[in-house]
C-alpha cells in the first residue's frame, strides 16, 4: 500500500500558512482582516 500523501510537518506548515507569511503579501493581509472581522481566536497558524 502506498504512503499517505499528507505527512505533517509543523515548521513547513507555519512557513506556508503562518502569521509572518500572511503579513508578507497583500492578499495574506486580507485573509487576516477577514478573520479579525469574524473574531477568530486564531488568526493564523
Per-residue pLDDT, 14: 96
At the topology level of CATH, where does 9-45 sit?
Answer: Helix Hairpins (1.10.287)
Averaged pLDDT for residues 10-21: 96
Q: pLDDT-based confidence at 25, cuts 50/70/90? A: very high
Q: Residue 39: which pLDDT band, with cuts at 50, 70 and 90?
A: very high
Band (30; pLDDT cuts 50, 70, 90): very high
The whole model's pTM is what? 0.81
B/e letters for 8-31, b = 16+ CB within 10 Å, e = fewer, are eeeeeeeeeeeeeebeeeeebeee
DSSP 25: S
Amino acid at each position: 500500500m502506498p504512503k499517505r500523501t499528507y505527512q505533517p510537518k509543523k515548521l513547513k506548515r507555519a512557513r506556508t500558512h503562518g502569521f509572518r507569511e500572511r503579513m508578507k503579501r497583500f492578499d495574506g493581509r486580507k485573509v487576516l482582516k477577514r478573520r479579525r472581522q469574524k473574531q477568530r481566536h486564531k488568526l493564523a497558524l
